[in-house]
Amino acid sequence: MMLVEVVDRKGERVAFTVEPDQRLLHAGLMKGIGLPHECGTGTCGNCKASIMTGTVDNLWPQAPGAKVCRRSGEVLLCQTAATSPLQVKLSSAFLAPCQPPCAIRSGRLTLNRMLTSDVGLFDVFLKEPMSYQPGQFVLLSIPGIEGPRAYSMISHEPAESRLCLLIRRNQQGMFTPYIFEGECDEEVEVFGPLGRATFTASEQRPFIAVAGGSGIAGMLAIIRHALAAGHFERHPSHLFFGLRHPDASYLLDDLSKFVEQSDGKFQASVAFSDVSNAESVAAQYPLLQFAFGPVHEVARAHVRNVGTAGTQKPLFFVGGPPPMVDATMRALITECKVSPTEIRYDRFG
């Protein structure tokens, strides 16, 4: 065991112990330390810190988020393990501790069903249930494949030992080509829950959600939770779901069912970016709305036209690939004048 002392930019200090080869971010989060982070996989760069004293191992030098580490001694806490006692300085302030607390669990990953040739629903069967909030995600690791990957739960069933995840195949990676080949039945390590783009019906507010591709996963958990609580009866809400082409669409049956179950008080708009016509799919799903263009532009137009000046200002949820999330955030904040404090988001690289 080695001691890690951490100071943030405000001068606040905490200390915790780590095992050899343990990721500093994960060790701190499991000890209830509010270390800054977003993805937990080396993509975003939000866990950047500087090693002041001590030595470390870089677990993934090619991590996309490492581009923010421009000075000697700067590291990503999610990709760094201690090889001696450390003193670490954060680039930002401590966050509130993760709720529920993070932990490592073991489970078995199996393919539930394919939605398209590159998108599938996978189940993780844990040895015991995991408490989590609607909209959160977990990190999966498979022995022999370097690094964890982040995936969101598509439902909220914390009393069950099964997590249902939406996973897209990444041909350039190693993890998803492996699990999509043949009959998936793999032992996995599960770390989490993570993510602050969460929602509970007790907040008593409508929401506008903007999702790109597999970023829809956490939104589905939020919508299902809201439906079960009768939330839309008093707080009508709207989802914008960005896809490229009708032939590669998925989950439209679920979204149509959600609209029907809410008596239209939940609405779903599907934005196709690569076509300008979708008559066949529109005829198949009359309860859904269809638009054309990047999903952030479609959502921006809606917010501009409808406004947010009602008696209940909506919360905003954004999830998807980093370019889509960044474009949506710019549109909402700079063009629609939405306060950043009203937006909850997750980037999935």
Structural domain including 135 reads: 103-194
pLDDT at 307: 62
Residue 306 has pLDDT above 80, yes or no: no
Specify whether 332 is located in the same domain as 250.
yes
pLDDT confidence of 308, banded at 50, 70, 90? low
Q: What's the length of the chain?
A: 349
Tell me the pTM. Answer: 0.94
Residue 187 sits in the same domain as residue 289 = no
Distance separating the N- and C-terminal Cα atoms of the chain: 32
The domain boundary residue, chosen from 59, 90, 121: 90
Q: What contacts 24+ positions apart, CB below 8 Å, involve 244-250?
A: 244/272, 244/273, 244/274, 245/272, 245/274, 245/275, 246/272, 246/275, 246/278, 246/280, 246/281, 248/116, 248/118, 249/116, 249/281, 250/115, 250/116, 250/119
For residue 320 the two structure tokens come to: 């998807």
The mean pLDDT of 201-209, rounded to a whole number, is 96
Q: Quick one: 205 and 343 in the same domain?
A: yes
**Is residue 98 one of the residues assigned to a domain?**
no
335 within a domain of the structure (yes/no)? yes
Question: How many helices and strands in the chain, by DSSP H and E?
Answer: 7, 19
Do 342 and 213 share a domain, yes or no? yes
Query: The tokens of 96 are what?
Result: 């509130």
> What number of other Cβ atoms are within 10 A of residue 311's Cβ?
4
Q: Check whether residue 289 and residue 337 sit in a common domain.
A: yes
CATH of residue 46's domain is: 3.10.20.30
**Res. 309 pLDDT band, cuts 50 70 90:** low
Q: Which residue in 127, 94, 91 sits closest to 108, CA to CA?
A: 127
* CB contact at 8 A, 163 and 123: yes
* Per-residue confidence (pLDDT) for residue 349, from 0 to 100: 59
Q: State percent of the chain over pLDDT 70.
A: 98
**Is residue 29 domain-shared with residue 111, that is, in the same domain?**
no
Spell out where 41-184 has E strands: 48-53, 56-58, 74-76, 80-82, 86-90, 103-114, 119-126, 137-141, 149-152, 162-168
Same domain (yes/no): 166, 214: no
Does residue 82 sit in the same domain as residue 124? no
The token duo for 269 is 């708009």
Asked if residue 188 belongs to a domain, the reply is yes
For residues 273 and 243, give the distance between their C-alpha atoms in angstroms, rounded to a whole number.
6
Q: What is the CATH number of the domain that holds 324?
A: 3.40.50.80
Last residue of a domain, one of 194, 227, 262: 194
Tell me the pLDDT of the chain averaged across its residues. Answer: 94
From 163, 194, 225, the end of a domain falls on 194
Shared domain for 113 and 182, answered yes or no, is yes
Residue 69 domain-assigned (yes or no): yes
Contact between residue 272 and residue 247 where contact means Cβ atoms under 8 Å apart: no
Per-residue pLDDT reduced to its tens digit, 18-29: 999 999 999 999
Give me the pLDDT at residue 145, please.
87
Place of tokens 């988001």: 345
Q: How do residues 157-197 score in pLDDT, each as one tens digit? A: 999 999 999 999 988 888 999 999 877 888 999 999 999 89
Does residue 222 sit in the same domain as residue 251?
yes
Quick one: which H or E segment has residue 178? Answer: helix 175-180
- 240 and 264 co-located in one domain: yes
Calpha distance 61→76 (Å, rounded): 10
210 assigned to some structural domain: yes
- What is the number of domains present in the chain? 3
Q: What pLDDT does residue 332 have? A: 97
Residue 249 has φ and ψ, to the nearest 5°, of: -80, 160
Predicted confidence (pLDDT) at residue 310 exceeds the cutoff of 60: no
Taking only the tens place, the pLDDT of each residue in 108-164 is 999 999 999 999 999 999 999 999 999 999 999 998 888 899 999 999 999 999 999
For the chain, what percentages of helix, strand and coil (3-state, to nearest 5) are there?
25, 35, 40
Q: Which residues of 21-51 are buried (b: 16+ CB within 10 A; e: fewer)?
A: ebbbbbbbbbbebbbbbbbbbbbbbbbbbeb
